[in-house]
Chains A and B, each alone.
Chain A
Amino acid sequence: MIQFIQNLGRNTCISFNKLGRSTYFLLQTMSGMFSVLGRPRLLLNQMYSVGVLSFLIITISGLFVGMVLGLQGFYTLSDFGAEETLGVMVAASLVRELGPVVSALLFAGRAGSALTAEIGLMKATEQLSGMEMMAVDPIKRIITPRFLAGLISMPILAALFSAVGIIGGQMIGCGLLGVDEGAYWSQMQANIDFQDDIINGVIKSIVFGFVTSWIALFEGYDAIPTSEGVSRATTRTVVNSAFSILGLDFILTALMFGDN
């Protein structure tokens, strides 16, 4: 029993300690923002490895998610004779929820885990301490460009996911199942609001990009510098990112769409 209470206390201390360190890490990262703007090369390189290389998985998943939504939505809606509102259903669920959430989950798996492994290995092979020896701040040189790249790429990827998904839904709905194409688009335009739906979706994806990049970079930076430590850190990145994305999504949805 005493053992249990001891463990509880220790684990609480450890988690608060980690939270504090990660906040300090985030502040350090943010303070490096301006120096990165002076060296756009670093940012461009990271945009390539974080954003461009995630492009394919995001668009292909978006296409399939849209197609599945079109198929499933059609079967449910045709029971009520409301096939014309298929466009609204596909677009609303993609723009509000699935676009930001699924692309953030994929992003955490595709780019977040790579970031953690890269930085964890840099730490394990003492590249980070090497930089410090040469009076180069590893946070400014390594972490901040990656953080910014994640922050910029995420909304772009989420917008692409939604756009491709809507086209996928249209392909299945109008091409295969025979929903009227004009009704698909016009119902969508009548019911999707730019401010309420699309801007809120973009805000969501910016928040998710912020959180996933933060988690991935901190876990890498904080990893125990052994092979096992890096592998654990990578696992933690994916698990923690998924939790925070889904939890934050609930909170954001309640805040944004709660009143209507």
Chain B
Amino acid sequence: MQHTSTQDTLVGLFVASGIVGLFFLAMQVSNLTSFVDEDSYTVTARFDNSGGLKIKSPVSAAGVKVGKVSSIYLDPKTYQSVVQLSINSKFNTLPDDTTASIFTAGLLGEQYVNLEPGGSDVYLQKNGKIEITQSAIILEKVIGQFLFKSAEEKK
């Protein structure tokens, strides 16, 4: 086997194209770009039922994504679902009487937390609490209530 400089160049091009390919996957395909501004603050919201909400589910206000769900756990005393929302520091002017509700995107879509700003002059602080919450709508529960009600009315 002979060593030629064209061979070296081709190997160099090959490795470079591999790096470019990986770079393309990282930047264009994955969500790595949205990781860059990781500067965020956490607020806590307590829901009676957080439904199908998952970690990394989006948090949005007026349809704009402002953060994501960072953790969900069950409070062993109150049996409520404690959801921690990590909100981008750019959106640090949310009033402290903001309402958090769990909605579903589309008919079968994933669930997200919607923030509805209130009228207070005091802003939500780091590690603050959202007091007013609205739980996820569980379809089975709603249908159950509806059936129960219509059975009542027939009597």
State the Cβ distance, B151 to closest chain A Cβ, in Å: 34
Residues of B within 8 A of A192 (CB): 29-31
Closest B residue to A59 by beta carbon equals B17
Known contacts A45-B1, A162-B21, A163-B21; decide if A198 and B11 are in contact (CB<8 Å).
no
Q: How many residues from A make CB contacts under 8 Å with B?
A: 32
Nearest B residue to A42, CB-CB: B1
Q: A7-15, A46-54, A219-227: which lies at the B interface?
A: A46-54
Asked if A44 is at the interface (CB within 8 A of a chain B CB), the reply is: yes
Also in contact, A198 and B29, with CB within 8 A (given A44-B7, A52-B10, A189-B34): yes
Residues 1-18 of B at the A interface (beta carbon under 8 Å): 1, 3, 7-8, 10-11, 13-15, 17-18
Interface of A is mostly: helix
- Asked whether B22 is an interface residue with its Cβ less than 8 Å from the other chain, the reply is yes
For this complex, into which size category does the number of interface residues on chain B fall?
20 to 34
A189 touching B31, Cβ below 8 Å: yes
| Interface pair B18/A190, CB less than 8 Å apart | no
Contact of A160 (CB < 8 Å), options: B1, B17, B31, B34: B17
With A47-B15, A52-B14, A159-B18 already in contact, 10 other A-B pairs whose C-beta atoms are closer than 8 Å: A52-B11, A95-B29, A159-B21, A159-B22, A162-B21, A163-B22, A163-B25, A194-B26, A194-B35, A198-B30
19 contacts between A and B (CB under 8 A): A44-B3, A45-B1, A45-B3, A47-B15, A48-B11, A52-B13, A91-B29, A152-B15, A153-B14, A156-B17, A159-B18, A159-B21, A159-B25, A163-B21, A163-B22, A164-B21, A166-B25, A189-B30, A189-B33
Q: Rank and list the top 10 A-B pairs by shortest CB-CB distance, nearest first.
A: A156-B18, A163-B21, A194-B30, A159-B21, A194-B32, A160-B21, A159-B22, A192-B30, A52-B14, A47-B11
